[in-house]
Amino acid sequence: MDPNHAILFEPVQIGPVTAPNRFYQTPHATGFGWQRPQSGAALRGVKAEGGWGVVCTEYCSIHPSSDDSPYAFLTLWEDADIAPLAATAEAGHAHGALAGIELWHGGFHASNRMTRVPGVGPQVQPSMFHLPATTRAMDKADIRAFRGWQRDAAKRAKQAGFDIVYVYAGHDYLPFQFLSRRSNTRGDSYGGTLENRARLLREMLEDTREAVGDTCAVAIRLAVDELHGPAGICAEDEGRDVVAMLAEIPDLWDVNVAGALGNDSKSARFSAEGYQEDYIRFVKTLTSKPVVSVGRFTSPERMVQQIRNGVQDFIGAARPSIADPFLPLKIREGRADEIRECIGCNICRAANNEAVGLRCTQNPTMGEEWRRGWHPERIAAYPRRETALVVGAGPAGLEAALTLARRGLEVTLAEARRSLGGRISFESTLPGLATWGRVRDWRMTMLAKLPNVQIYRESRMAAGDIEDLAPDHLILATGSQWRRDGVGVVGMEARLFERSLTPDDIFAGAKVTGPVLIYDDEHYFMGGALAEKLARDGHRVRLVTPYPQASGWAIYTDEQGFIQERLMGLGVEIIPQHMLAAQGTDTATITDTMGQSRDVPCETLILVTGRLPDDGLWQALHTRPGTARVGDCLAPSSIADAVYSAHRHARLLGEADTPPRRERPPHKGT
């Protein structure tokens, strides 16, 4: 271990328990929830095995009036919930970690679709998401009942074996709704002054300590700034006052910015590593208790700086622990160059927002620990000494080559270009996306450590070349190209736009002149990122899309609002709910949802609609034994899907491709 990193491995006392080091996996969603406890336990267990000193669950509902369906959440509503959650605590303890649980009530953020229980909150308030429902105002009897729900859930958490029990007052959930004057206009002892608005939070902390504080640490997760300025809680005003008011009551402060979850888990496109520091730095000056916060930390030097500068006592992480569950162990063993760094793409957040299991661009084993038995650092050796040729060194090709080599095959990787990385090498040049290059860089670093890999650059392979080499296994990772016919998500009719460009042309250096029209019928990052790039280059840019907003799919990565705000700030004209109809000499014709057409200035038309696989080699060689295609060559999609596709093929090579295990309720015979 580098002596400079030794401070990260010091034990830290948290009330009645001691964390073995300063690596703290803060609560984060998995998409598994109460329905899939074995998957959740296995995922957290791998984190503990990788050296995280504290491993926390996702949000755990304390009562049926806090139901976030269809999103996956844990429950401690009744004693029957104890045993499934005990598996997660045991998985952490098996590797020496403390286990934390985040008790949660959503207030007007919970629509209660499954339980159909009316929602409760500090005041009459429309429910925040998806249903035209209204949350009813809690009276004093409701508040007493709510405090009882917290106490009962805390006692069940203790029975399940958890070491740290949370009071959750962040991300706009119920205790925070009482705290913020934006959502609390009550006139009784739970409203008005900050002391009154903080009353429920104080009572919850005291109730939880009384219930479990003899053996469990009591943590508070608090948003010290909701990023709404003086109208709400802000760090330089009431955020500071709340911390001062409650400073010594909890055993640990887990602090962040909030309002919406997207502010806390902001993508790398809109935030740098450690970006929350300016908001939370003050907390340690007001309390003697340990403090943890997040910031997408991947650099050991930055982590050490956080501790030495007195910003926090732990290195809090959600996304970096997903990208590399073994990050702490790699630092301890002096292998920091092997850290699979989070790229901040927020595909993990997209999984949660789509109500599916966790996935990660960098770590294709994430979420597969139980259902497929995959481990991020261990993989079965291939039973025979055989050769593999991987054609294409984009994200899929690099992953396929690395995984096959780790299994012991003799691997040859051939790339037509001088540079490796494929689409990543181009996409990472777009504004804010430089961290995406880590997908390429980590795999190149790991490949360089393996003696059974040969890499050939500037080696475009033809079918005859491959036949001459006669590898035992041929993996085609030749990628994809952007479509020129305008076929996208909404517009499915192929048309001819003779003078149009695609993102491939822009990356190849095509000349852009005059007014630019970007037609985005793909709706992820590319259309908005190109619009930002060209606007920064000084072009007049219009972004036309059939969706109601720019980069509509990016709502799942918590980026859509930030993208739209940035484009508007750069003067990009966003024209939503319009289809591209025709391209003229210096105009383009667009049509709205009512069928009304109009011409807009357009000298350069860029189509961002869909992609087609570069599968010429596949068409020529698919009948050859041992041939497979992966990544975009198989089905153009996200980088995460390309990496997963390649990893899955390489990991299952020589094995039966059986369906993944599914968690099912026990069968009861009649």
Q: What is the pLDDT of residues 594-643, one digit of tens each?
A: 999 999 999 999 999 999 999 999 999 999 999 999 999 999 999 999 99
d(CA 452, CA 192): 69
Across the chain, mean pLDDT equals 95
259, pLDDT greater than 90: no
The band of 33, judged by pLDDT with boundaries at 50, 70 and 90, is very high
pTM of the model: 0.95
The band of 125, judged by pLDDT with boundaries at 50, 70 and 90, is confident
The pLDDT value recorded for residue 101 is: 98
The band of 261, judged by pLDDT with boundaries at 50, 70 and 90, is low
d(CA 366, CA 61): 24
Q: What is the pLDDT of residues 574-601, one digit of tens each?
A: 999 999 999 999 999 999 989 999 999 9
Residue 543 phi/psi, 5-degree rounding, is -115, 115
231, pLDDT greater than 90: no
DSSP-derived pairing of the beta strands 387-391 and 473-476: parallel
Residue matched to tokens 């037609």: 519
Contact assessment for residue 318 and residue 28, using Cβ atoms and an 8 Å cutoff: yes
Residue matched to tokens 């396929």: 400
The band of 359, judged by pLDDT with boundaries at 50, 70 and 90, is very high
> Does 387-479+620-652 match 3-353 at the fold level?
no
Q: What is the pLDDT of residues 234-247, one digit of tens each?
A: 889 999 999 999 99
Domain edges within the chain: 3-353, 387-479+620-652, 503-612
Report, at the CATH architecture level, how domain 3-353 is classified. Alpha-Beta Barrel (3.20)
d(CA 397, CA 647): 10
Percent of the chain with pLDDT over 70: 98
427: amino acid identity, one letter: E
Q: What is the pLDDT of residues 446-474, one digit of tens each?
A: 999 999 999 999 999 999 999 999 999 99
d(CA 578, CA 567): 18
The pLDDT value recorded for residue 668 is: 60
In words, the CATH class of domain 503-612 is: alpha beta
Q: Could you give the 3-state DSSP secondary structure of residue 218?
A: strand
CATH superfamily membership of 387-479+620-652: NAD(P)-binding Rossmann-like Domain (3.40.50.720)
Contact assessment for residue 382 and residue 425, using Cβ atoms and an 8 Å cutoff: no
654, pLDDT greater than 60: yes
The pLDDT value recorded for residue 258 is: 81
- Per-residue CA distances from 543 to 18, 372, 624 (Å): 54, 42, 45
Contact assessment for residue 73 and residue 115, using Cβ atoms and an 8 Å cutoff: no
Q: What is the pLDDT of residues 97-106, one digit of tens each?
A: 999 999 999 9
Q: What is the mean pLDDT of residues 496-510?
A: 95
d(CA 147, CA 141): 10
The band of 669, judged by pLDDT with boundaries at 50, 70 and 90, is low
DSSP 317-359: ESHHHHH-TTHHHHHHTT-GGG--------HHHHHHHTTS---
d(CA 434, CA 487): 29
The band of 268, judged by pLDDT with boundaries at 50, 70 and 90, is very high
Active-site residue (options: 24, 166, 168, 173): 173
173 is catalytic: yes
54, pLDDT greater than 90: yes
The pLDDT value recorded for residue 670 is: 46
Cα dihedral 17, 22, 25, 26 sign: positive
Q: What is the mean pLDDT of residues 348-370?
A: 96
- Please give, one letter per residue, the 3-state secondary structure of 499-542: CCECHHHHHCCCCCCCCEEEEECCCCCHHHHHHHHHHHCCCCEE
322 burial via Cβ count (<10 Å: 0-12, 13-18, 19+): buried
The band of 264, judged by pLDDT with boundaries at 50, 70 and 90, is confident
